[in-house]
Amino acid sequence: MSKENRPLILITNDDGIHSPGLSAAAEAVQDLGEILVVAPRHQQTGAGRGTFAFNNVPVQEERIAVGGQRVYAFSIEGTPAQAVLYALLEVAPRKPGLAISGINYGENPGTGVTTSGTVGAALEAAAFGIPSLAISLETSKEYHYSLSHDIDFTAAAFFTRVFAQLLLSVKLPPDVDILKIDVPMDATEKTPWRLTRVSRQRYFYPLKSEHPTPSGISTIDYEVRVDFDTLEPDSDIFALVKDRAVSVSPLSLDLSSRVDLGHLAQLVGSG
């Protein structure tokens, strides 16, 4: 297959260009097409789909390790969504057939999906009509902002490849713009996966510091909380935390409430 006929696969993340998770994602799919790696230069966890600036954003060519080889990549002094914009508008020789955001240090279930830079990058690519994956690996909190080599991405890379092959071969329904995948830290290639919905529960809870600093430096922390009494059995949190299964949540760019608009008009009045 000629280079022009091979699908172009955009790889990005929110942990930064030198993340082992990014390299693991690229290695998992490098034989499925031509890979283009564009990612933030620095840690951008929690950036969501934000684009903080559009002009004079520094870009740098990089060499990163992928499957024992050094491959060319680009880093951008900006957010994950900006990295996607730069990739699509300035670098990509043609429209990618797939975008992969990850593999993220830390899971992304529940209502926090809108703050996730991993998900934000995938949504930005999806807004261009590109089938997209946002894949995250459950890790201990101490690794959420790290680029530690202690994390084993083998299982997450396996599922990255599985769903990359799926999106390259199957056209999903129109309302499925991205697949959000959360892999348990103890997963193997034989771990079952299932389709889930995004839980309405908050998963990462912010905490007020018990020891405020006089310098004005923020010390807000967070912890994982799950209310199993009200947790939806078909949710991403339930699959990941309770059943230790790989959660695959189809997400839509359409954030409209799934409500009967006629009934709502009766309640609030129609203009």
Residue 215 domain-assigned?
no
Q: What is the pLDDT of residue 58?
A: 86
Which residue type is seen at 3? K
Instruction: For residue 25, give every residue at least 6 positions away whose Cβ sits within 8 Å of its Cβ, in sequence order, or none.
Output: 11, 13, 100, 102, 103, 135, 157, 160
Residue 223 domain-assigned?
no
Closest CA to 26 of 71, 60, 90, 93: 71
> Per-residue pLDDT tens for 84-108?
999 999 999 999 999 999 999 999 9
Give the residue numbers spanning the domain of 168.
8-201+233-268
**In this model, does residue 268 exceed pLDDT 50?**
yes
Residue 213 domain-assigned?
no
Residue 132 domain-assigned?
yes
**In this model, does residue 118 exceed pLDDT 70?**
yes
Domain count, the chain: 1
Residue 218 domain-assigned?
no
Return d(Cα 39, Cα 263) in angstroms, integer: 44
Residue 103 domain-assigned?
yes
> Per-residue pLDDT tens for 19-78?
999 999 999 999 999 999 999 999 899 888 988 777 778 888 999 889 888 889 999 999
Residues linked to residue 70 through DSSP beta bridges, in sequence order: 65
> Per-residue pLDDT tens for 212-259?
666 767 678 899 999 999 999 999 999 999 999 999 999 999 999 989
Closest CA to 204 of 40, 19, 44, 46: 46
* 36, 71 contact by CB (below 8 A): no
* 187, 246 contact by CB (below 8 A): yes
Residue 208 domain-assigned?
no
Closest CA to 161 of 5, 6, 11: 11
Q: What is the CATH number of the domain that holds 58?
A: 3.40.1210.10
Residue 206 domain-assigned?
no
